[in-house]
Structure 1
Amino acid sequence: MGKLGLPDIRIEFQTAGIAAIEKSEKGTVALMIREAESSQKSFVLTNVTQIPKDFTEENKAYIQRAFIGYVNPPRCVLVYVLGSDTEIDEALTYFATQKFDYICLPPTGTSEEATKVKTWIANERTNNNAIYKAVLPNLVADSEAIINLAADGIKEGEKAYTTAEYCSRIAGLIAGTPMKISCSYAPLSELTDITRLSKTDGDAAVAAGKFIFVHDGSKVKVARGVNSLTTTVEGKGDIYKKIKIVEAIDMINQDIRITCEDSYIGKYSNSYDNKCLLITAIKGYFEELELNGILARGKSKVYIDLEQQEIYLQKQGIDTSKMSEQEIKEANTGSFVFLAATISILDAIEDIQIRIAI
């Protein structure tokens, strides 16, 4: 008889942790394009050679820019083809059934369509537990899920790009940024120039939630990996302005939710021992992320949420005033499991101060 270990829930969480690391190396981009005629509506592309040859040169180039990526190219690019006058709702209905990280409008998208995507993203994240995000041109969205690309004067030699035309490039760049680092100062080596901002204007743009480019005298690069969030509230502070941090939060939330749904809910009795099993499994998942430099080592904790558990018991008419902490932990909570956790997501090195004494 083989050596017994913990039930599969722990294995599933360890697998989720390993998959999270792999996922962090590559992401998925969703693009909308417009073609006058196309017999096929949706495409799943894993490299540039798969781009249909009958697309317009502009659309082929738009997709190709997404595949440039950063450290890695995106894992795949989902493309939905709209007709010349088709509403983007058709594409959004399709993408609601897909898994992806960042979505972009067609390069000819309007400000009204950008606002529609913003609203759709907010609804999907709030009501459907989606982790969708978007790269949109010049949209003041004040949202951690919207990247407000606000670069101007984008040039590749004699070729000039609109901000909208370059959204696919930035979606691919962010999707191809490993979770351990940020896209701040990521070089855009194909570009030869941009509208150059003073340091004061650049600082103001970043503070306003704008994703901009800078020219350091020899090359064009991303200024800072920020999203459009500017209004902070309790529970959503300044760290939510960082693309890297939001990526990690989204990944962790999704991995825990899906693994619980697939491997825990309905499959175990709600005993104290099985609650501890779930705690141990989630802790193991966090430890995978610690080992791979996404979370700070030794900072992750998972435990029964005593405050919420006691509130639940009191609502059931149970007098908890004479119960010990352990008795509250072990109390029957029906079908509810009340857990709490603390983690520390590692940021990237972006601000360096050096004091040199001479």
Structure 2
Amino acid sequence: MANTLPDINIAFKQRAQTFIQRGDNAILILKDDTDKTFESVEYKDLIELEIDKSKYTEENLQYIKDCLESNPNKVIVVRIDTEEEYSDALSTVKNLYNTGWISLVSNAQADYDALIQWIKTRRDVDKKTFKGIVFNPTTQPDCEGIVVLGNSKVTFKDNKRGQKEGYEYLPSLLGYIASAGIDTGTTYMTMKNLKSVLEPVNIDQEIQSGKLILINDENTVKIGLGVNSLTTFTEGKGEDFSLIEVIEATDLIKDDIKNTFKNNYVGKFKNKLDNQILFISAINTYFKNLAARDVLDNAFNNKCYIDIEAQRKAWIESGKTEAKEWAEEEVKGNIFKRDIFLAANIKILSTMTDLDFSITME
């Protein structure tokens, strides 16, 4: 019987079908000594939170409610004692989770600097798709995995709070961004619990510097443009990587492929060309399904393939210098040990943001 990968095809199909509907996890780190019997807890809705309301101070309870208001996939509260450092909570996150949007509530730049460095390490070294939301860090992160809120003041609709410092809106923003997905993105998303915000003098300049700016628009507060802090663009990381919705899509795709490979392929199939081709075919079917759902551009040839040059390089570095002269098919046929070298070329769709409309009068 021919080798097939039915489990992988099914898994990819399921992931593509639920891609748009999946919001991300919101991980909120809070300092609270009210109940020291737990490190972390997950909430799906306000009903679940109501059961645990005695675990938190009134202020922290409101932060969790703010985060839940926009219905992210779930809110994960990571609690530490008031005398502890936020790095202690980040160690808990690292041990329990592989991805999610993370934020905290603090008026200290050093706390946000620590979160930024942690996010960068997780993404660059561990290849984990964590993303963070911070306020007024010491230096701009210049990272696609970090969003910087650029409003110094916000005014809540409820009379109890009124105007607050910008960092006190991070739990709300965390929930909104985590819930967004990529079908509508975050640009012009309405912040339903705000009455108004203090806008910076030059909004466009702040956005271009890598800050997410909330704007007042016809009696509502909206995200002006859903951007992260990336401002240094390269050939491999162009301007599109500064959009939250694009990074959300690339991270989900990476996680889907990695997790499907780990759960349905590793240890189950021999590393030979036929099985690699079957796996590539499954990924390309996944891409087609995403294109059918307007995640990827269906007019573009979204394609996964064997990375010939990476595989050739592996052979050369192992001492097989004759690999320099191998034709492409020969490279493909010479599987390198237990490794699979794949690459892909895809085009992620983003939402409409700009309109250029001319009217000519006769």
Q: Return the TM-score normalized by structure 1.
A: 0.90
- Compute the displacement of 1:245 (Å): 0.7
Q: 1:312 to 1:79 in 2, by over 3 A?
A: closer
SS in 1 for 2:197: coil
- Compute the displacement of 1:58 (Å): 1.1
Letter in 2 for 1:218: N
Which residue is 1:64 aligned to? 65
Which residue is 1:117 aligned to? 115
8 Å Cα contact 1:197/1:214 also seen in 2: no
- Compute the displacement of 1:37 (Å): 2.7
8 Å Cα contact 2:133/2:149 also seen in 1: yes
User: Distance between the aligned counterparts of 1:333 and 1:225, measured in 2?
Assistant: 42
User: Distance between the aligned counterparts of 2:186 and 2:336, measured in 1?
Assistant: 44
Q: Give unpaired runs (5+ residues) of structure 2.
A: none
Which residue is 2:304 aligned to? 302
- Compute the displacement of 1:11 (Å): 2.4
Which residue is 1:36 aligned to? 33
- Compute the displacement of 1:181 (Å): 2.0
Which of 127, 130, 134 in structure 2 is aligned with 1:129?
127
Which residue is 2:147 aligned to? 147
Which residue is 1:340 aligned to? 343
SS in 2 for 1:147: strand
8 Å Cα contact 2:280/2:304 also seen in 1: yes
Matched, 1:74 2:72: yes
Alignment of 1:101-250 (within 5 A): 101-105=100-104, 107-139=105-137, 140-157=140-157, 158=159, 159-197=162-200, 201-250=202-251
Which residue is 2:14 aligned to? 15
SS in 2 for 1:13: helix
SS in 1 for 2:233: coil
User: Distance between the aligned counterparts of 2:316 and 2:340, measured in 1?
Assistant: 15
Tell me the alpha carbon deviations over residues 142-163 of structure 1, each in whole angstroms, 9 at most, x when there is no partner. Answer: 1111110111331124511211
- Compute the displacement of 1:127 (Å): 2.2
Tell me the alpha carbon deviations over residues 159-202 of structure 1, each in whole angstroms, 9 at most, x when there is no partner. Answer: 1121111001111111111312211111123322221345xx01
Tell me the alpha carbon deviations over residues 26-45 of structure 1, each in whole angstroms, 9 at most, x when there is no partner. Answer: 22101112223313332111
Identity %: 28
User: Distance between the aligned counterparts of 1:187 and 1:222, measured in 2?
Assistant: 7
- Compute the displacement of 1:334 (Å): 2.7
Count of residues in Structure 1 that have an aligned counterpart in Structure 2: 349
RMSD, aligned CA: 2.3
Alignment of 1:254-293 (within 5 A): 254-293=255-294
Tell me the alpha carbon deviations over residues 28-66 of structure 1, each in whole angstroms, 9 at most, x when there is no partner. Answer: 101112223313332111111222222222111111111
Letter in 2 for 1:121: I
